[in-house]
Amino acid sequence: MTAESGVVLAKTAGFCPGVKKAIDRVLELAQAGKQPIYTLGPLIHNTQVIEMLEQKGIRAVETLAEVPAGAGVIVLRAHGVTPELEAEVRALGLEVVDATCPLVKRVHSVIGQCAARGYATVIVGDKGHAEVTGLFGYAGKEAYIVAGPEEASKLPALGKVNIVAQTTQEEDVFRRTVEVVRSKARETVVSNTICKPTRDRQRETSELAGAVDLMIIVGAKHSANTARLTTLCRRLCPGTVHVETDEELDAGTVRAARRVAITAGASTPSWMTDRVLERVKKVRSREASSARTLLERALEFLIDSCAYAGLAAVGLTYVCMKLQGCRTDDRLLVMAGLFVFSLHIINRVAQKGGVAADSRKAALVHRLRRPLTVTAVASGLGTMGLALYLDGKLFAVVFLCWILGALYPFRSLRGLTGLIEFPGSRDIATALGWGFVCAYLPGLYQGIIFTKANYLAVLFAILLVFIRSVLLGLSAVHSDLIVGRENFYKALGPRTTYATLAGIQALLVGILVLLLAMGWKGRLVGALLCGDLIFVAGSVLCYAKGVTKGFWAEIGVDGQFLLLALLTWLSGKF
């Protein structure tokens, strides 16, 4: 957990693995162009996430009658369904994708196996909840649903009984219910099917609630696991509040508390929890100033508008010019900035908010889709117009690469997804695109391509931008933003990702140290080595402190290029 100004954020807050898997699955379907996509009931119990999925063309339906005949995909949601309903779904003849949480499917198996051996089933859970309804469907003829020990005491005398739990049930409630059921049954099998993420979350939440004055639970009001967390906390901390968004927080309550802890249900994305955390910090901070707020808003605008990415491209282009011995040409700097700026906007609009957007930003992008598209196209035309003014062959190359970059987000519409949708494809494509415009084009314009210095600059740019793209993707995943397997971290996992990043950084440092030892452009190489080591040290420190997501993480990642540009400029002055 992390603590700051008397505020503690639970480590277990955020999506559970089953929810992550379900969301990733439907996103991959949308990215593959398999429309329309329907989920049988809300995929998860979170209004903001469901709204975001709707923006991406993924619609929740309550009954099969709402699904039009013809093409489309039906997704079985994370909570699971009864075997009878699943059979109905498959009988429609449409493509069916099972996004049921693996831990819920395990409970289906446990219930089915015991029912086949003649055991009655007692489910400790919430009657009417989607998961419990699905579990009940696997229990055979004799099955009961009880919310806790009080309802269990009303059960009739039983023979052989298998007792299971809704995966998000409270441990103490399940344990006490089991004792009551045992007193009514001749033989019992106890299957504690509360999932490990739930147990870990409840354990940490109990520890926090017993040590603070204000406990804030973030999540949908209709989420069963979030409601249980709230009930659990209120027994230990009378000052417990349950909010869906940061706007529901009462500033007076937050200021009055000496110690505050924040956690969230399994269906609550981390970006919602982060908003609550930031709101709490701002309310409690006595040092917050209007100037600081204005600066943060300005920086946030630069990031959300993609202007910050454009500035980063300008900085990297300047570095690559100096590295390969090009004359500094402001027109090439502007061209690189516009190229990156326009394509990043197109990608964000195409992704209805992109990986760096929560539901608010996704909704904003959706509302501003037309002006954003106009801005992107105008910037792209400016890029090509400037290239045409500079050189005909430069224009031809820029035009081709800009068109390819602009079409990349729409590849599914042309059936090209299978050809270029490999793990980490977005990060690799981004690195190649930036390397082309920031390093190759200046060399092409000034007639020094296919030289050792040009190769070095292109390689330097590609490696740096690949690191940048992976780190931003890592930030998105850690914030529970909706990303797919074209994200390197999501596709290959943390071990491979961190090993790859470490290997690339070691290669970069090794190259710079070798060049420094050879005496090649010593001041410039020394400045770049210094800047890279500062960035590595900062990244390691942020990782150690758990700062791998959010606003300031994005500032730091693209800020490395501005830092390198500044050090490059200084190396030529002193």
Residues labelled as active-site residues: 131
Cβ atoms 9, 277 nearer than 8 A: yes
* Rounded-to-integer distance, Cα 532 and Cα 526, Å: 10
Q: Is the dihedral of CA 482, 487, 493, 498 positive or negative?
A: negative
Residue 87 in tokens: 């059979």
For the chain, the farthest-separated pair of C-alpha atoms sits apart, in whole angstroms, at: 90
Chain Cα centroid distance, residue 208: 26
Q: Coil, strand or helix: which one is 572? A: coil
Picking from 269, 240, 270, 154, the residue whose alpha carbon sits closest to that of residue 553 is 270
* Rounded-to-integer distance, Cα 556 and Cα 308, Å: 11
* Rounded-to-integer distance, Cα 559 and Cα 534, Å: 11
* Rounded-to-integer distance, Cα 486 and Cα 56, Å: 16
Picking from 295, 296, 305, 360, the residue whose alpha carbon sits closest to that of residue 337 is 305
Q: Coil, strand or helix: which one is 367? A: helix
**Upstream peptide bond of 442 is cis (omega within 30 degrees of 0):** no
Long-range CB pairs of 94-99 (<8 Å, 24+ gap) are 94/67, 95/34, 97/25, 97/26, 97/29, 97/73, 99/21, 99/22, 99/25, 99/26, 99/39, 99/43, 99/75
The 3-class SS string of 168-207 reads CCCHHHHHHHHHHHHCCEEEEEEECCCCHHHHHHHHHHHH
Q: Which positions ≥6 away from 355 have C-beta within 8 Å? A: 472, 473, 476, 481, 482, 483, 487
* Rounded-to-integer distance, Cα 176 and Cα 174, Å: 6
* Rounded-to-integer distance, Cα 85 and Cα 100, Å: 13
